[in-house]
Chains A and B, each alone.
Chain A
Amino acid sequence: AQTVTQSQPEMSVQEAETVTLSCTYDTSESDYYLFWYKQPPSRQMILVIRQEAYKQQNATENRFSVNFQKAAKSFSLKISDSQLGDAAMYFCAPLHTGANSKLTFGKGITLSVRP
């Protein structure tokens, strides 16, 4: 079974600044994916970034990047040049590969962006 810990329930960042959202997880699997999803007030769950556990290189998607530490089971999300539209709830979610695996969501972090 997988568990996900997002220990910061709320965070705030000044517009144009950088913020890092933390996530740790526990899994016995060696091959898995890691995702960050964003859920704005519209409630649409949007994929932000993905990371394959076998890749050492950290994933980057425009202003979003991750710091993946496999041994520490840590998967943080860095948002650079924060924009007002980044205000949302962010969920970390690991998924081990193979049939019958489950996408396990953390409790989420509410990010507010100050203008």
Chain B
Amino acid sequence: ETGVTQTPRHLVMGMTNKKSLKCEQHLGHNAMYWYKQSAKKPLELMFVYSLEERVENNSVPSRFSPECPNSSHLFLHLHTLQPEDSALYLCASSRQDGLGEQYFGPGTRLTVT
């Protein structure tokens, strides 16, 4: 069983579309994270959830809306995105927020047209 899974792996959407990215972890962790990885830039932390509560929101535009219904699942809802939002979106989890290593999913490659 893969530790952290993400779906879809690839997504192409228009600027007026609404879509969602899904992340699921099978590691029994209590913290989950969304990162954005753009070309030529370091990974950017977007959101942190600890025990299903959002504890970090790094000045992310409101067109990105996270949801954490339980400690195993994390969603990123997307609406009215811009072409510059095209990137690799990575989900990660850890035992606790700020404690120990994070394990990453394979990412969703998002292209906004």
Contact = CB atoms under 8 A, between A and B. Distances in A.
B50 A99 contact: yes
Interface residues of B, number: 24
Contacts, number: 53
A43 B88 contact: yes
A47 B101 contact: yes
A50 B45 CA distance: 20
Contacts of A106: 42
Contacts of A99: 50, 55, 97-98
A98 B98 CA distance: 5
Contacts of B99: 97-98
A47 to B, nearest CB: 5
Interface in A39-90: 42-47, 50
Contacts of A96: 98
A103 B55 contact: no
A97 B45 CA distance: 17
Interface residues of A, number: 25
Given A44-B106, A108-B42, A102 B56 contact: yes
B66 to A, nearest CB: 16
A100 interface: yes
A91 B98 contact: no
Contacts of A46: 104
Contacts of B109: 43
B42 to A, nearest CB: 5
Contacts of B97: 99-101
B104 A44 contact: yes
A102 B43 contact: no
Interface of B: 33, 41-43, 45, 48, 50, 55-56, 88, 90, 92, 97-107, 109
Interface of A: 4, 33, 35, 37, 42-47, 50, 91, 95-103, 105-108
